[in-house]
Structure 1
Amino acid sequence: MEHIIGLSIISNLDSMRVIRKPRTYGAKANFFEEYDEYTFVKRFRLSKKSALYIFEKIQRKIRNYTQRNHALSPLEMLLLALRFYASGSFLITVADFCGVSTSTASRVVKRVSYAIAELSREYIKMPKSSAELEIVNRSFHRIANFPKVVGCIDCTHVKIQSPGGVNAEIFRNREGYFSYNVQAVCNANLEITDLVCRWPGSAHDANIFNNSRIKHRFELNQFKDCFILGDSGYGVSRYMMTPLLHPNTAAERLYNESQIRTRNCVERCFGVWKRRFPVLSAGLRVSQNTVMAVIVACGVLHNIARQNRDADPSEEENFTAEESTENAMEADESTTETPGVSFMRSSLIRDYFARL
């Protein structure tokens, strides 16, 4: 009797057992072969040459040392991350495009972003030698005859989702959305030469600069009496040249025109940067540490694209009018200038612009 009951229980367990559906792995697309150059750039915002170049730099850092579960190759991981930067959409959309799960797409974006961001010391750097400074000075001088310029500085907001917690509101900027206030210095070729992306959206541009390493380097005169150009939100100093709020003489008006035209490089840089990688303007929905890695990674990729002479994205695609609004509001917050601090600017106007 007990034997019969045991067989009945086993039979019932067998009938209740769940039969798992076998995993299926679809064939992954080879975007390098499927897309021509134009379509590839439209989808990934980099030329094939630039994508392969960055692949050679990071493939060892992102390689999976296993073939279990049909692991993604380093090239597939790079293209997934590039698609995320280029689309500015949800991770699930990028995952569907590349044929992976959302969790896999999230891990890949984080991994690739950190690998690319580690290259920032090589691709995001200020000129050091006298020869490099001379080249940068001449390239800026050709724009509007402003002498001894080593860079143009400004800040831009990168939209994020609410980080939550007790400190969430410090990330809310004056436009009312959550963001990081990113400080960048660029050269005349619209390449980013210094990048700071750890400050919340409520931080003021001048406060970010005052606590940055780039200011410390200018204080130590590492750039040999060269100037950096900023808007009226920054305080004028012996190395920071800002526009005059009330120009009176012809020399002062000429100074203002030259300063504004030259400083326009950083605003154009932000425009090209955000059009190339719309994720910076559409908003990032990842963790805070990954946000910073994505911003730096996009800065590295932008410089590589500029150096490889990749075509700039068209203005019709993802135009952002944010920069002009920020600059207009910065001028309203400018501090009162003291005669001693603005002595270098007055000397520059008197000794240089008055003679042009």
Structure 2
Amino acid sequence: MYRDYFVRDLRMIDDVEDIINRNPFRKRVKLYKIRKNPLEELQEAEFKLKYRFSRSTAMFIIDMVKNDLSGDSRGGLIPPHLKVLTALRTWVSGEIQDDAGDLNGMSQATVSRVCKQVALALVAKRAEWIHMPHSEIEQDNVIAGFFSICGFRQVIGAIDCTHIRILKVGGNVGQYYINRKGYSSINVQVVSNANLEIMDIVARWCGSTHDSRIFNESPLKQRFEQSEFKGRLLGDSGFACTSYLFTPISQPNTEKEEMYNIAHSKTHNTVERCIKVWKQRFKSLLQGFKTKLDNTKVYIVALAILHNIAIQRQEQLDDVEEHDEVPVPVPPVTLNNMTGSSARAAFINDNF
């Protein structure tokens, strides 16, 4: 059904060759690259190897955003399916845009524009794909998912932060993007459920920002303080302990506290595995982005949406590496909320 686009491109090549034959002294002739159709030409195994999604899921994504991608780009009309596949190839492989463009017959500049178009089209669907559980039934299902891991009660999300490498930022603000490992990054806050889906993401803070500050200034904290959710979050020592966000005991003194720490670690590990799978699926998250800062922030959210689509459609990722990066150390928060510490102590006493 996409064949007309490629026939048109082939005719364009033939016309140019005719011009060259008639006028061999012509100085400038622009040759259009032949745009192949991976949906039709690649076998399923090869397609998934290149795009990290099955053909059916790729078609699902194309159908979801195609109405927002019906515009012209310089270099000829590019069909929506080719725009999506080009963006996917760029993000999942971590290749430079020119390499991804060669596969689909586009210049580097065109690939850059296409990636931004696809990312914006995906982010327009954010509320549909990235959200905390709304109804009581949805919250109960998320809580049950966490409880099934090792019996930790009333957990509605696991929270953590991860650094995405970016190009060095110029100007006076550049120093604030340098994290504790010495490279420029965006510190991204992620909340996941037990199925490794991303339920909340904040991708706008510079790399030197402490994890606790990102949460303290997020809309999600306000929603918990307004008792919008019946469960609580689990976070590491980089967050302050509150009545709605439990952290580990820094120095457990009793058997109950040790049992709590073990259960906390196993349950909180879901968000760590979520981030690992997310980055392994999209190598550009591992290797970092070389795009404009504003575009990079959009790409991160778009890739979170694609991650959730992959999880919900059971797209298996068989080659997740055990050690993919060295985490940026986060200083522990020592000033915990007294009410939070009391709530945690009561919870430990009642459940362990």
Cα separation, partners in 2 of 1:19 and 1:259, compared to 1, 3 Å? same
Post-superposition shift, 1:144? 1.0
Matched, 1:321 2:325: yes
Post-superposition shift, 1:34? 2.0
Structure 1 letter corresponding to 2:222: H
SS of match in other structure, 1:92: helix
* Structure 2 unmatched ranges of 5 or more: 1-24
Post-superposition shift, 1:313? 4.2
Larger radius of gyration: 1
Comparing 295-304 and 337-346, the one that deviates more = 337-346
- CA deviation map 1:116-149 (0-9, x unaligned): 1111110000001110111111110000100010
| Distance in 1 separating the partners of 2:206 and 2:263 | 32
**Is the contact made by 1:160 and 1:179 (CA closer than 8 Å) also made in structure 2?**
yes
**Is the contact made by 2:235 and 2:247 (CA closer than 8 Å) also made in structure 1?**
yes
2:219 to 213, 216, 220: 213
Match of 2:340 in 1: 341
**How big is the alpha-carbon RMSD for the aligned residues of Structure 1 and Structure 2?**
1.7
Post-superposition shift, 1:341? 3.3
Cα separation, partners in 2 of 1:198 and 1:98, compared to 1, 3 Å? same
**Is the contact made by 1:186 and 1:266 (CA closer than 8 Å) also made in structure 2?**
yes
Structure 1 letter corresponding to 2:251: H
SS of match in other structure, 1:106: helix
Match of 2:143 in 1: 137
| Distance in 2 separating the partners of 1:130 and 1:145 | 20
**Is the contact made by 2:239 and 2:332 (CA closer than 8 Å) also made in structure 1?**
no
- CA deviation map 1:276-330 (0-9, x unaligned): 00001111011111101110110000000000000124124x95233xx34xx33
1:11-26 matches, within 5 Å, as: 19-26=26-33
**Is the contact made by 1:275 and 1:319 (CA closer than 8 Å) also made in structure 2?**
no
Match of 1:43 in 2: 50
SS of match in other structure, 1:70: coil
**Is the contact made by 2:246 and 2:340 (CA closer than 8 Å) also made in structure 1?**
no
Post-superposition shift, 1:69? 4.7
Match of 1:294 in 2: 299
Match of 1:159 in 2: 165
Structure 2 letter corresponding to 1:278: K
1:75-114 matches, within 5 Å, as: 75-114=81-120
| Distance in 2 separating the partners of 1:313 and 1:191 | 17
**Is the contact made by 1:276 and 1:313 (CA closer than 8 Å) also made in structure 2?**
no
| Distance in 2 separating the partners of 1:127 and 1:194 | 10
Comparing 40-49 and 195-204, the one that deviates more = 40-49
Post-superposition shift, 1:88? 1.1
Structure 1 letter corresponding to 2:115: V
**Is the contact made by 1:117 and 1:297 (CA closer than 8 Å) also made in structure 2?**
yes
Cα separation, partners in 2 of 1:69 and 1:234, compared to 1, 3 Å? closer
1:269 to 235, 256, 274: 274
1:169-248 matches, within 5 Å, as: 169-224=175-230, 226-248=231-253
* Structure 1 unmatched ranges of 5 or more: 1-17
**Is the contact made by 1:271 and 1:319 (CA closer than 8 Å) also made in structure 2?**
no
- CA deviation map 1:18-65 (0-9, x unaligned): 834433334311111222222212211112121111111110101125
Match of 1:309 in 2: 314
| Distance in 1 separating the partners of 2:340 and 2:76 | 63
Q: Percent identity?
A: 38
SS of match in other structure, 2:251: coil
Comparing 73-82 and 19-28, the one that deviates more = 19-28
